[in-house]
Structure 1
Amino acid sequence: MIKHLSDQEAIEKMQAIANRQVCFLCTYTMPYRQEARPMTTLEVDAEGNFLFFVKNDEDGTQQIRQRKEVDLLYNNGSSYLAVHGEATIYRDQSKIDKFYNPIANVWFDGKDDPSLMILEVKPTDAHYWTTAEGKIVTLYKMAKATLAGEEVNIGVTGDLNI
């Protein structure tokens, strides 16, 4: 089934799939060359922007400064989300204070580390896929439909317009 979502519904779908989840952040180093790295999403905010912690001096941040276009790819078990957007990197101590936790000490020297920055991705377009009844039931329905030669509704897909 296809169900496109807009505005607040689209933001809520992105929040449900992505908040505090790991994604692949894909940056571009040259035309048609993509580099992907796992990133933990701090939040999808009320405007639909994705927030992450990044180190100011890493390759990914340098790539973003050269080309702001990025992709975010999520799979949280029963849902998938692909986001294309424009990234900005900045320092905002209030956001750092809000989201910083001891796990971040693996990458940073505390919340006052000068290399600790916020990466914000503003979506330009997004698409989601959600299975109707979870992974195991979906696999069962797919196998049954394959054997019977039938079509089956295994979930919902659509564009997210913000």
Structure 2
Amino acid sequence: MSTRNYTKDKNGLDKMRALIDAPKIVMLATQLRKTPFSVCPMTLQQMDDQGDLWFFTSKTSSHFTDIQEDNRVQIIYTDEDKQKYISIYGNATHIIDDEKVDELWSPALNTWFEGKDDSNLALLNINMENAYYWDSIQNKLVSFFKIVEGSITDKTPDLGEKGHVNLQNH
């Protein structure tokens, strides 16, 4: 697997866009300084033009309270079918924005909220600072055969790319 690193420029954001599909269920970790940290599944709604990640959340959830105390978060993103894996570190902010709610809302969210006007509904905006990724260029079956071939022929198979994306402003 080759290694490639990106910075916060068009190439870095383009790489993240190529890796992230939304909506997607991810694991959101809060209370990063505690062991064990707190983790919950969240549905990624959007990666916007600036590279921020958007989620719906409840004001009564434990991660909502956690973020009020310490807004540092870690997101674990996996897409086993496409062989993409990302660990994202960033800062979370609670947002109340009716226009953004209208933009991102889908009827499936009624499972967790009493409609768009639910008084406990809030948006969670994550500003990504750093990400580590593993991106296989092959599907699982092809990767498996390349690994087997490499073990027989002593050739190092090209299984894709891994790297770091630094999204902090300098």
Q: TM-score, normalised by structure 2?
A: 0.88
Give the residue type in structure 1 aligned to 2:150.
Answer: A
Distance in structure 2 (CA, Å) of the matches to 1:56 and 1:123: 22
Deviations 1:86-126, CA, capped at 9 Å, x for gaps: 11112111110001111000000000111110101111111
1:64 maps to which of 37, 47, 67: 67
Give the residue type in structure 1 aligned to 2:114.
Answer: D
Distance in structure 2 (CA, Å) of the matches to 1:149 and 1:35: 43
Q: Verify the 8 A CA contact 1:131 1:155 in the aligned structure 2.
A: yes
Distance in structure 2 (CA, Å) of the matches to 1:26 and 1:115: 21
Count of residues in correspondence between the two structures: 162
The residue aligned with 2:86 is 81
> Are 1:97 and 2:99 counterparts?
no
The residue aligned with 2:119 is 114
After the TM superposition, list the runs of 4 or more consecutive aligned residues in structure 1 that deviate by more than 3 angstroms.
Answer: 147-150
Query: How far apart are 1:36 and its partner, in Å?
Result: 1.5
The residue aligned with 2:54 is 51
Q: TM-score, normalised by structure 1?
A: 0.92
Q: Verify the 8 A CA contact 2:136 2:159 in the aligned structure 1.
A: yes
The residue aligned with 2:35 is 32
Query: How far apart are 1:30 and its partner, in Å?
Result: 4.9
Distance in structure 2 (CA, Å) of the matches to 1:29 and 1:148: 44
> Are 1:3 and 2:39 counterparts?
no
Give structure 2 stretches of 5+ with no counterpart: none
Q: Verify the 8 A CA contact 2:84 2:135 in the aligned structure 1.
A: yes
Q: RMSD over aligned Cα, in angstroms? A: 1.6
Give the stretch that moved more between structures: 20-29 or 67-76: 20-29
Give structure 1 stretches of 5+ with no counterpart: none
